[in-house]
Chains A and B, each alone.
Chain A
Amino acid sequence: MTIAPTSDRQPQDTLTGSQWRAALPWLIAFALLLALPFVFRSSSAITVMNQMAITVIFALSYNMLLGQGGMLSFGHAVYMGLGGFFAVHVMNTLLVPLPLLPLFGGLFGLIFAIIVGAFSTRRAGTVFAMISLGVGELVAASSIIIVSFFGGEAGVKGDRTEAPAFLGINFASQTQVYYLIAAWMFLSALAMYLFTRTPAGRMANAVRDNEERAEFLGYSQRTVRFMSFCAAGFFAGIAGALIAINFEILTEENLNLTSSGVILLVTFLGGVGFFIGPIVGAVAFTLLQSVLSLQTDLWQLYVGLLFLLAVMFFPGGLTGVLAMHGPAWRHGKLGLLTVPYLKLTAVVVTGILAAACFLEILFHVRHASVGENTMRLFKLTIDTHAVWPWLATGGVALICLALANRLAPDVKAAWDAANLPAKGSARR
């Protein structure tokens, strides 16, 4: 099986050649990372941001395989988890200052990636995918059996404040940890971005798109894949070490198949075709998981449906959707789309909310205690045993579905119009 060819358009820098334009997004990101803790100050918000930053590194590292190298892995969490377990053991020696810990995690991830990559990167496609599945399952099972290294199901604990102080900082507060993680995220993202600009990174793309041609050009596809694989293992290990720092505990869940599956979904949700895709995916998914799960017990159902719908309608992921509008933007015709989009969005959002409310009411009726007939939805108190809430939510959902069907041709027409080059503009 082959990986779908994805658009290879990287952000503008080759277009303009301007160093400044290439650096701008990084400067903005840097400022944003500095400012965030002043906006979201509660410790749970910072915990969520830390989790987000770790997921960003992990997703970027995963995309080195999937998006840039065309390797579909079902066991990438192994490298993150092993790096993390090693890091927490290093942390417990009390010898290494905390900010250097991620290097050890990365190194351990790299070593294991070299071992596995030696036989798994010989082929891409399904062979690689199934080997990664097998290795993932074997390592996850070993983590329960080998108690002396993995600590069984209780995992391995550490205390980050006992590590040697670094510039007088003991990392007891969440904010200090945030800046440490954010710094490592920034460095790792930059390093991974620069990797895509190196000849090795370019060759990974070439091998992904056409193995044979790359081979004829004199590049060993296997070596190219192996290098991407090792680099991805290294950065996954860094993410693992940051887990050790943030949560001060490593357990089996950090390297099992579920984690590996989730990161595939996260990366895909953001979009594999663009460097920024996994970042968007990681931020969106962490928000979904942490915020949505506080609100409803049905969140997993919604997440599953989200992926089904996303893959059916936006196979390029979130960034893919944005990128689709590039031509219209260049033609200066984005305005044509505004009104149809607003209409469609209003209808779709209303419809989804109504459908979700319907499900919530149904869930409430089935699970609430006897006599507990009311629930709160959007600050409204609803009697779930009356008929009208069912009719209203179900009805609105159906009407919106019908309306969306009616609106679709308009949007299509507007889309076609917006993508037609304007008169007088340069033809391609």
Chain B
Amino acid sequence: MKQRLALRSLAAGVFCLPLLAASAHAADPIKIGFIDPLSGPFATTGENGLAEFKFAAERLVNEKGGVLGGRNFEIVPFDNQVSPKETLIKLQAAIDEGVRFVVQGNSSGVANALTDAVKKHNERNPDKRVIYLNYSAVDPALTNENCNFWHFRLDANADIKMDALTDVMAKNKAITKVYIVGQDYSFGKAVADGAVRDLAKKRPEIEIVGNELHPIGKVKDFTPYARKIIASGANAVITGNWGSDMVGLGKAIIDAGYKGPIYTYYAASNGITKTFGADGKNVIRVVSEGQGNPPPSKSGAEYITAFKAKNPNNDVVQPRVANTIQLLKSAIEKAGTTEAVAVAKAMEGLEIDGVLGGKVKMRADDHQAIQDIHIQVHTDEGITFPLDNSAYGLLVENTVTNAGADSLTTCKMERPAN
């Protein structure tokens, strides 16, 4: 610790530091380590997530007098550059700085590395145990075969989202031919496998006219994929693509003359909504938790309004961030301590009111949050809270309440005795 401080002050002499204000509070703040990309190509989601976390901690905890008799939440950012290796280095740095709660979300590859590292760290250093709150990585394995006691997932996993999506698709009689396309990695494969499995169960007469993977972040022009989708006669497309792969694919499909729905996981905000603009209207659909339009409740609307007032260039795109803070606050209050085992046990089975509507319950078996999942459409009609400062936003079309509450898990969790 001392050496690290020495290193820091050494660096302070050499480099300019926007250091986190380390002014002494009466009660020590509870440090929450935010380990996500803050530089490099994926920093835009990281920066937005950081803004959401800072706002949630301020509004949901600190402004309400903190927890455990006035202790505040402090979000400490660490830039992992979406690199598993850098993540593990930053985890050590965070722990040395007194962080005992880690939040991370971008990339399931990083999440897999982090959950494993946290588990090993806790085994080897029982005096410095850490809880990992995963707010976005949706690889089903994290709450199935790779689950562990220290990992909690606040987002619905890919299988649960697909379950909700296929519930809605099964009721839409206009859909007869479905084309599945995704990035060639575990998440893309999980989406494809889930779609094939669930559609066969719920509407066996739906024909899967295409099911393919493309290399992640390597395709320059998506036109050939769009041509194949047109050629197949598909009237619904499912994709788990994100970032520029999502924009490229979506634009190519629309440009090629496709008019049906494109069901996606991540086609909103960070410039994506604005880029799709009028072209994507009533075509792009997003499966996600948390409702913005129509406003879920008075308090939810106030939350979004206050966030926008403070962060005009960001959006509340990950309502689960607010739920993460809310859940952690409730668990710490219930446990009466910040000790990791007690907080983790308090979190199991805990139910809170979602900040943007609905209930969120942390399932004890696999540490997967169960919540409402919405199918939302990209449009400019009936939008109270648009995204990207454009006219467009997401409007809830269908809702599956407590999605995946009955979903099975292969998780066999080992719980520590004390």
Contact = CB atoms under 8 A, between A and B. Distances in A.
Contacts, number: 157
A254 B84 CA distance: 10
Interface in A131-163: 141, 144-145, 152-155, 157, 159, 161
Contacts of B311: 369-370
Interface stretch (A8-16, A108-116, A356-364, A416-424): A356-364
Interface string B151-185: 00000000000000000000000000000000011
A248 to B, nearest CB: 7
Interface residues of B, number: 58
A59 to B, nearest CB: 16
A300 B18 contact: no
A48 B89 contact: yes
Nearest to B83: A253
B7 A154 contact: no
B103 to A, nearest CB: 17
Contact of B113 (A161, A249, A367): A249
Contact of A294 (B2, B85, B93, B312): B93
Contacts of B113: 154-155, 157, 249, 251
Contact of A357 (B4, B16, B38, B92): B16
B75 to A, nearest CB: 12
Nearest to A371: B310
Given A45-B3, A153-B186, A294-B8, A356 B116 contact: no
B96 A44 contact: yes
Given A47-B92, A292-B11, A360 B18 contact: yes
A427 interface: no
A376 interface: yes
B55 interface: yes
Nearest to B5: A42
A123 interface: no
A169 B215 CA distance: 43
A293 B81 contact: yes
Interface in B1-55: 1-4, 7-8, 11-12, 15-21, 38-40, 43, 47, 51, 54-55
Contacts of A296: 15-18
Interface string A328-360: 000000000000000000000000010011001
A24 interface: no
A295 B88 contact: no
A144 B215 contact: yes
Interface string B294-335: 000000000000000111100000000000000000000000
B310 A44 contact: no
Contacts of A157: 112-113, 116
Contacts of A44: 4, 89, 92-93, 95-96
B391 to A, nearest CB: 22
Given A41-B2, A155-B113, A360-B16, 12 more contacts: A42-B96, A44-B95, A144-B216, A154-B186, A249-B84, A249-B113, A251-B109, A299-B39, A370-B310, A376-B18, A376-B20, A377-B17
Interface of B: 1-4, 7-8, 11-12, 15-21, 38-40, 43, 47, 51, 54-55, 78-79, 81, 83-86, 88-90, 92-93, 95-96, 107-109, 112-113, 116-117, 120, 124, 139, 141, 184-186, 215-216, 218, 309-312
16 contacts: A41-B2, A42-B2, A47-B89, A153-B108, A155-B112, A155-B113, A157-B112, A253-B83, A296-B17, A296-B18, A300-B40, A353-B15, A369-B55, A375-B18, A377-B16, A377-B17
